[in-house]
Amino acid sequence: MEVSANSHAVQAAPLPVDLADGVFPAGCPSRTVLDHVTSKWGVLILLALSEGEQRWSDLRRRAEGISEKMLAQTLKTLERDGLVRRDAQPVIPPRVDYSLTERGYELSALLVPLVAWAFENAEDIVNGKR
Amino acid sequence: MEVSANSHAVQAAPLPVDLADGVFPAGCPSRTVLDHVTSKWGVLILLALSEGEQRWSDLRRRAEGISEKMLAQTLKTLERDGLVRRDAQPVIPPRVDYSLTERGYELSALLVPLVAWAFENAEDIVNGKR
DNA sequence: CAGTATCCCCAAGGATACTG
DNA sequence: CAGTATCCTTGGGGATACTG
């Protein structure tokens, strides 16, 4: 696997949002959105789609280990959130393409570095290396 | 609440990691790390700590809604992952400070924009606005 | 103050079968 | 192919009580 990223020490960025007390209020919409977006399968789907349009069966294969139920559920949630677009062709057998909306792309651009970081640091972390 | 961030359309960034088939292998360490880091409470704790050292009781208050059990569990996981440092003073009553390690800061620098984005888009998303 | 220890429950999510 | 429907289990996680 090829890896290329900025692994030089990043200094703590000042919070762009004022979260003085309470990182987020308990019932806050941001919590919900964050939960959708950072959900186990949500991240994987969003990431897969960041490489371009994919069919249901592609996504099933690429998000290795996902069940049909969870794929359907995750896609619906992301679609409702306006992050994923569903394009169903009226043909037989059916063909459905999933892709990111503009907002979805915006998000994936933030997700990609995070996932790349996880990928790069995974070994050290699970092995307890500092 | 004060907000300042780059909300102009971000174009799809090319994936820095080659994930040709399978976003991630099922048993992959990155999956584990990603799960820790993007867990419901993990994000909130990491974010709170990105503003500096905090005590147990601070964290409990700031991650509004968290139970003692989940706070303990989340902190332990993050500590094992080398993202959070625990500093216990041998005084009575006990005083324990939590802070980010260097790796933790590196991560939080990636998390902050994500959370900021969620915060900015939350309203539109839950209201179904495009 | 900073946690542990227990009990307990519900719903997230897997497996399987079926369908337009 | 692209899903839906159903059943069923497990463990995530809340509430509460206790402790050094």
Span B68-113, pLDDT tens digits: 999 999 999 999 999 999 999 999 999 999 999 999 999 999 999 9
Nearest to A117 among B23, B110, B123 (CB): B110
- pLDDT exceeds cutoff 60 at B26: yes
Q: What percent of chain A has pLDDT over 70?
A: 83
Q: A126 CA to chain B: closest CA distance, Å? A: 7
Q: Does residue B109 contact residue A13 with C-beta atoms inside 8 Å?
A: yes
Q: What's this model's pTM, rounded to 2 decimal places?
A: 0.88
B27 touches strand C (CB under 7 A): no
- How many angstroms separate the CA atoms of A130 and A110, rounded? 26
At B73, list the tokens: 């569990």
* CA of B34, C1' of D18: distance in angstroms: 35
Q: What is the mean pLDDT of residues A107-113?
A: 96
Would the CB atoms of A82 and B124 count as touching at under 8 Å? yes
Q: A6-34: per-residue pLDDT in tens?
A: 434 444 555 555 554 567 888 889 999 99
CA distances from A1 to B18, B31, B107 (A): 6, 16, 22
- How many angstroms separate the CA atoms of A94 and B72, rounded? 49
* B33 membership: H or E segment, kind and range: helix B29-37
DSSP letter at A17? Answer: B
pLDDT at A16: 54
Q: Hey, of A50, A111, A115, A129, which one would you mutate to test binding to chain B, going by the most B CBs within 10 A of its CB?
A: A115
Q: Hey, of B1, B2, B37, B38, which one would you mutate to test binding to chain A, going by the most A CBs within 10 A of its CB?
A: B38
Backbone angles phi, psi at A75, to 5 degrees: -65, -40
- How many angstroms separate the CA atoms of A42 and A73, rounded? 10
pLDDT at A5: 41
* Chain A partners within 8 Å of B121 (Cβ): 33, 103
